[in-house]
Amino acid sequence: MGSVAVPLAGLEESYDYIIVGGGTAGCVLANRLTEDKDVRVLLLEAGDDRTTDPLVLTPGLVAGVYGKDEYDWNFQSVPQSTLNNRIINQARGKMLGGSSALNFMMLVYPSKASIDAWAAVGNPSWNFEALKPYLKKFATVDVPSASTKDICAITYNNDTVAYGDGPVQVSFGEGYGVTNKGWFDTFESLDLLSKRDARDGQALGAFQNASSIDPATKTRSFSAVTYLTPEVRARENLKILTNTHVNKVLFDTTGPEPVATGVEINVNGIVSQVSANLEVILSAGALQSPQILELSGVGSKEILAHHNIPVVVENPAVGEGMQDHPIVCQSFEVKEGTPSGDVLRDPAVLKALLDMYTADRSGPLGQLTISVAYTPLVNKTGVISDEGVKELFAGRDFSNPARAAIRDIVTNPNEPTFQYILFPTQVHIADKPGNMATHLIPVEPENFLTVMTILNSPFSRGSVHIQSSDPKAAPVWDPKYNHDDLDMELLARGVQFVEHLVAPESALGKLLNQTGRRLPQLKGDDLETAKEIVRQRQISVFHVSGSCSMRPREQGGVVNERLQVYGAKGLRVVDASIFPIEPAGNIQSVVYSVAERAADLIKEDRIKEYRKAVKV
Ligand SMILES: Cc1cc2nc3c(=O)[nH]c(=O)nc-3n(C[C@H](O)[C@H](O)[C@H](O)COP(=O)(O)OP(=O)(O)OC[C@H]3O[C@@H](n4cnc5c(N)ncnc54)[C@H](O)[C@@H]3O)c2cc1C
């Protein structure tokens, strides 16, 4: 199928900026760049516009979209040798709004040190202070109610008015109950209750995360509805094209440096081209931005040669450096009377809850009842002593700046090495999960709660690369979980700590059936068993990042601090791919704020270029 240099009907021949991927970051850019009436922007999205779809909008129905081609790219990893050769599923939003349209809506702020580490690996202009205004700019965080504050031990938040005034609407909800209280009481008894607001970047202990749920409508608040409001869509300088697959970036290679001049697109099998006067910006996510770069001739020369793709920019770092948070899910049978989301297996219960939600937006379908905790390095004895931490890290090589930066976070007793999550249902782990819903559908007849252990700053690095020159073929994703054995050592210690949380005498343990089932039926108090729990029960938190890393080129960078692709002009990457080091916590807050900051950088650069051109 040849491509024609003729624009598709309805499209102009050229735009100033072409944004590839209308996902979490892409919608932010489309909004912010078109604030300037002088620039014309084209936003291209492979999926459809599902901003009025109840399955997307209703928080409690999220499992209904996973694995369906019209919502989810549904990637699978290669078998993971450290996880009993299991395949790990990776849902990714394939619609306007991208993964913000199918994520779990947890709104968690990163730790300060995990963002300061970006500066430590060669990006001096990126640290927590620099990102902070943007962490505030993307969202409006509603004030928690008095009862939520009471149940969830929110003693530090004295806000009486909303925090921030950004487009994404964030709230706490009302449905927290005995299990949440049990969570906070348990952490308090372990002297691990947060006294600080996680927004400051220095929370440590259990705290109540907010959710990207609009408090007024109890619907998912995500990038496509919040950044692409009817007013924004009506801007004459913004064109949004959905159901448009971008095959590759086009370059002019006649000058001293290749210049991105546009993209090749496929709309219903018709392949055509559209030009960018100023820039092409890739916001296709951490699995697909590197894929598009490789398809366009930017990548390792061996990989490109293997697929007969002419090299435009040789950079073996494209698609490398892939990171993700590993998450270990242990489910515990609850006592009779303890609430569990597993009751939704009963169609009559689901119908009753749907009726409540439809009638007046009440009930659990309109809110998230997850609670979280950040802890330092812990094991079966609690917080590990300084001596114990030293021993664990002794004799290992930290000459690589990124490894040293991560070690500094993980060994700091004031930093969250782990994030724990209280999840209100059972989690099912299959060797080859067909899609994300496989994990969530309650297949066990008993009711459970799940405690999840996340390693916030993993040392392992994976990869994602094309396996074909066909733009529609999924790339090969190998997260290489725990390939750095330190990750397994750390995660297993985190799993050991779970025994404290579910112990019979703990407030949470009292809500569990202590003689009932566990998934898996293993107790993680000894280290070897804890490692086996990791092998059987670790999956992805869906925080893939780092595959087009921002750092000096000679240190494995793909983009510079202004997110421009090394070796080419007029080409940037703006999405989770650019994270040089995975931030602590759930990453949508960082994706939104990176995109907000990127929009400012792009605006600044345009003014600079203009001044240069007119010699002001
Ligand atoms: C199941 C799940 C649960 C999650 N839960 C949470 C959570 O509770 N809290 C949290 O903070 N984070 C969560 N995350 C993570 C967070 O949502 C993502 O990290 C973030 O949304 C990624 O944003 P992005 O802009 O990098 O990519 P995306 O939002 O995925 O955007 C990429 C866009 O590019 C489009 N695209 C890709 N290829 C092409 C192409 N060739 N042509 C045209 N368009 C293309 C895609 O369709 C998509 O719309 C979750 C993620 C998932 C998948």
What is the structure's pLDDT at 157?
83
What is the structure's pLDDT at 171?
96
Q: What are phi and psi of 273, to 5 degrees?
A: -125, 155
Ligand 1 atom closest to the CA of 246, numbered from 1: 42
Amino acid at 103: N
Catalytic residues: 543
| Cα 614 to ligand 1 centre (Å) | 39
User: Residue 192, CB half-sphere, CA atoms under 13 Å: how many?
Assistant: 25
Q: What is the mean pLDDT of residues 130-138?
A: 96
Confidence of residue 581 (pLDDT cuts 50, 70, 90): very high
Ligand 1 atom closest to the CA of 471, numbered from 1: 41
| pLDDT tens column, 254-264 | 999 999 999 99
What is the structure's pLDDT at 23?
98
| Cα 319 to ligand 1 centre (Å) | 17
- Residue 144 contacts residue 154 (beta carbons within 8 Å): yes
What is the structure's pLDDT at 512?
98
| pLDDT tens column, 327-340 | 999 999 999 999 99
Nearest protein CA to atom 35 of ligand 1, as residue = 21
Q: What is the mean pLDDT of the chain?
A: 96
Q: What is the mean pLDDT of residues 176-193?
A: 97
Report the distance separating Cα 16 and Cα 262, nearest Å: 10
Ligand 1 atom closest to the CA of 595, numbered from 1: 25
| Cα 220 to ligand 1 centre (Å) | 15
pLDDT at 465 over 60: yes
| Cα 545 to ligand 1 centre (Å) | 10
Residue 192, SS3 per DSSP: coil
pLDDT at 449 over 50: yes
Report the distance separating Cα 546 and Cα 287, nearest Å: 10
What is the structure's pLDDT at 6?
57
- Residue 140 contacts residue 148 (beta carbons within 8 Å): no
What is the structure's pLDDT at 7?
62
Q: What is the mean pLDDT of residues 517-535?
A: 97
Q: Quick one: which of 19, 46, 142, 140 has its CA closest to 101?
A: 46
What are 573's strand-pairing partners?
A: 282
Report the distance separating Cα 568 and Cα 575, nearest Å: 18
pLDDT at 494 over 70: yes
Confidence of residue 1 (pLDDT cuts 50, 70, 90): very low
Confidence of residue 616 (pLDDT cuts 50, 70, 90): low
Ligand 1 atom closest to the CA of 96, numbered from 1: 49
Amino acid at 612: K
| pLDDT tens column, 275-294 | 999 999 999 999 999 999 99
CA dihedral defined by 295, 297, 300, 305, rounded to 10 degrees?
A: 90
Q: What is the mean pLDDT of residues 310-332?
A: 98
How would you classify the pairing of strands 14-20 and 41-44?
A: parallel
pLDDT at 542 over 50: yes
Give ∠ CA 61-139-105 in degrees, rounded to 5. Answer: 20
Burial of 442 (0-12, 13-18, 19+ CB in 10 A): buried
Ligand 1 atom closest to the CA of 47, numbered from 1: 47
Nearest protein CA to atom 37 of ligand 1, as residue = 284
Nearest protein CA to atom 27 of ligand 1, as residue = 285
Least confident of 159-163, 324-328, 470-474: 159-163
| Cα 124 to ligand 1 centre (Å) | 27
Pocket of ligand 1 (CB under 6 A): 20-26, 44-47, 91-94, 98-100, 102-106, 245-246, 283-286, 288, 292, 436, 542-543, 575-576, 586-589, 591
Ligand 1 atom closest to the CA of 590, numbered from 1: 11
> Tokens in use for 6?
């003729």
Question: Percent of the chain beyond pLDDT 90?
Answer: 93
Nearest protein CA to atom 48 of ligand 1, as residue = 98
Q: Among 24, 66, 92, 99, which is best to mutate for testing ligand 1, by the most ligand atoms less than 8 A from CB?
A: 99
> Tokens in use for 119?
């500066």
Q: Among 18, 19, 20, 24, which is best to mutate for testing ligand 1, by the most ligand atoms less than 8 A from CB?
A: 24
| Cα 86 to ligand 1 centre (Å) | 23
pLDDT at 181 over 70: yes
Nearest protein CA to atom 14 of ligand 1, as residue = 103
Burial of 104 (0-12, 13-18, 19+ CB in 10 A): middle
Confidence of residue 5 (pLDDT cuts 50, 70, 90): low
Q: Quick one: angle between helices 24-33 and 588-614, nearest 10?
A: 40
Q: What are phi and psi of 505, to 5 degrees?
A: -85, -10
Residue 534, SS3 per DSSP: helix
| Cα 71 to ligand 1 centre (Å) | 11
Nearest protein CA to atom 47 of ligand 1, as residue = 94
What is the structure's pLDDT at 4?
56
| Cα 92 to ligand 1 centre (Å) | 5
| pLDDT tens column, 88-100 | 999 999 999 999 9
| Cα 524 to ligand 1 centre (Å) | 33
Confidence of residue 173 (pLDDT cuts 50, 70, 90): confident
Q: What is the mean pLDDT of residues 12-31?
A: 97
Confidence of residue 3 (pLDDT cuts 50, 70, 90): low
Question: Percent of the chain beyond pLDDT 70?
Answer: 99
Q: Among 32, 89, 96, 103, which is best to mutate for testing ligand 1, by the most ligand atoms less than 8 A from CB?
A: 103
| pLDDT tens column, 59-109 | 999 999 999 999 999 999 999 999 999 999 999 999 999 999 999 999 999
| pLDDT tens column, 202-223 | 999 999 999 999 999 999 999 9
